[in-house]
């Protein structure tokens, strides 16, 4: 009986699932932001946020709520659009990785690598454990995919020489 490898499609499927999850969360964020373009929705959100225990007594949380609620409809729409663009990118990466497509591995390496310097800066500027976890996950994904691409390339080169 053939035993499946750990570094094959199962790992790519796990990365694809992670990309799908990020895509779904960004779509939910975009829809929520798009809904905030209406003044009534902003007032309802403000009322709801004030009832949360985390909203009282925490200066950073209060400031973040104030910033979000103070955005004009144009900026909220722009943030929605950006979230949808990233959601689309993550969904494309997830689809390609799920199918085992080599182009998706390259796309994921490039797109994820572009965010690593920003994530490092964010960890130094405003450290949180979640930012560090995100950075570690993204570095691990890039390292794994680069390893996989290099391994596949060397196997293809050896096969071509024979």
Q: What is the pLDDT of residues 80-92, one digit of tens each?
A: 999 999 999 999 9
What is the predicted pLDDT for the residue at 162?
60
- pTM summary value: 0.75
What is the predicted pLDDT for the residue at 137?
95
69 or 161, which is more confident? 69
What is the predicted pLDDT for the residue at 18?
94
| Token pair recorded at residue 33 | 């932001």
Q: What is the CA radius of gyration of the chain?
A: 20
Question: Mean pLDDT over residues 94-102, rounded?
Answer: 92
| pLDDT higher than threshold 50 for residue 2 | no
38 or 121, which is more confident? 121
For the chain, what is the mean pLDDT? 84
What is the predicted pLDDT for the residue at 42?
75
| pLDDT higher than threshold 50 for residue 74 | yes
Q: Is residue 76 within 8 Å of 34, Cβ to Cβ?
A: yes
| Token pair recorded at residue 151 | 């391994």
What is the predicted pLDDT for the residue at 4?
43
Query: For 4, what's the count of Cα atoms within 13 Å in the CB-facing half-sphere?
Result: 6
Domain regions of the chain by residue span: 10-36+71-157
39 or 155, which is more confident? 39
* Four-CA torsion 141, 143, 148, 149, nearest 10 degrees: 110
* pLDDT per residue as tens digits for the range 42-57: 778 777 777 777 666 6
Angle at 81 between CA 101 and CA 50, to 5 degrees: 120
Q: Is residue 69 within 8 Å of 45, Cβ to Cβ?
A: yes
Q: Is residue 92 within 8 Å of 107, Cβ to Cβ?
A: yes
| pLDDT higher than threshold 50 for residue 3 | no
Q: Measuring CA to CA, how many Å separate 156 from each of 13, 98, 149, 152?
A: 22, 21, 10, 6
| Distance, CA of 147 to CA of 92 (rounded, Å) | 21
């Amino acid at each position: 009986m053939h035993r499946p490898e750990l570094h094959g499609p199962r790992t790519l499927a796990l990365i694809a699932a992670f990309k799908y999850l990020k895509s779904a969360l960004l779509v939910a964020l975009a829809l929520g932001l798009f809904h905030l373009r209406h003044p009534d929705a902003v007032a309802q959100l403000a009322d709801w946020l004030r009832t949360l225990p985390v909203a009282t007594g925490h200066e950073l949380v209060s400031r973040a709520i104030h910033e979000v609620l103070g955005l004009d409809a144009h900026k909220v729409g722009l943030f929605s659009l950006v979230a949808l663009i990233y959601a689309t990118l993550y969904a494309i990466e997830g689809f390609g990785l799920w199918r085992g497509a080599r182009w998706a591995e390259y796309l994921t390496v490039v797109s994820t690598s572009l965010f690593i310097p920003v994530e490092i800066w964010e960890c130094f500027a405003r450290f949180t454990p979640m930012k560090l976890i995100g950075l570690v996950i993204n570095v691990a994904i890039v390292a794994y995919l680069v390893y996989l691409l290099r391994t596949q390339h060397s196997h293809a080169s050896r096969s071509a020489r024979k």
